[in-house]
Structure 1
Amino acid sequence: MTAPVPVGTAGTLRLRPLSIQADDDPDGVIVGRPELGEFVSLPALYGKAIELLGDGLPVGAVQRRIEDEHDVELDVVQLVEALVELGFVARLNGADLPDPAERVPPPHLPWLAERHVRWLFGRPMAVLWAVVVGAALVTLFGRPDLVPVYHDFFWSDYIGLTTLVNTAMFSVVISLHELMHLVAARSLGTPARIGFGTRLHNLVVQTDVTAIWSVPRRSRYRVYLAGTACDLFLFATLLLVLAHADPPEGVAALLRALALVIMLSVPLQMHVYMRTDFYFVLADLLRCRNLFGDGLGYARYLLRRVTAVVRRVRPPADPSAELSARERRAVRIYAVLLVPSAAVALGMFAVYTLPIIVSSLIRALVAVWESVNGGPVLLGVDAGLFLLVEGGIQTLFLVTFVKSHPHWFRR
Structure 2
Amino acid sequence: MKDKIRTILAFGIVLILVVTGFILDKSDQTTDVFPNENIMISLYGEAHGHKKCYDIELKEWREYYNKGYRNLFVELPYYSAEFLNEWMKEDSDELIDLFFEEIQGTLSGNKYYYEFFHEIKEYCPETIFYGTDVGHQYDTTGSRYLKYLEDNGLEDSEKYILAKECIRQGQEYYNEDTEHNGISSLREAYMVSNFIDAYTRCGGGRIMGIYGSYHTDLYNSDLMAGKLKEKYGDMISSVKLSTIAFSQISRQPYDLGFCVTGFVFLLMLFVPNIIWACKAKPAGYDEVAKKENKLLLLLERMGEALLSVSLMVFTALNPKVMVFEGFYFEWKIIIWMTAFVLMVLYECYWIKYFKSLKTMKDFYMSYMGFPVAGATLPVIACLLLGIYSGNAIVICASIILGIGHIGIHLMHKKFNV
* TM-score scaled by length of structure 2: 0.21
Greater C-alpha Rg: 2
Question: Could you tell me the TM-score, scaled by structure 1's length?
Answer: 0.21
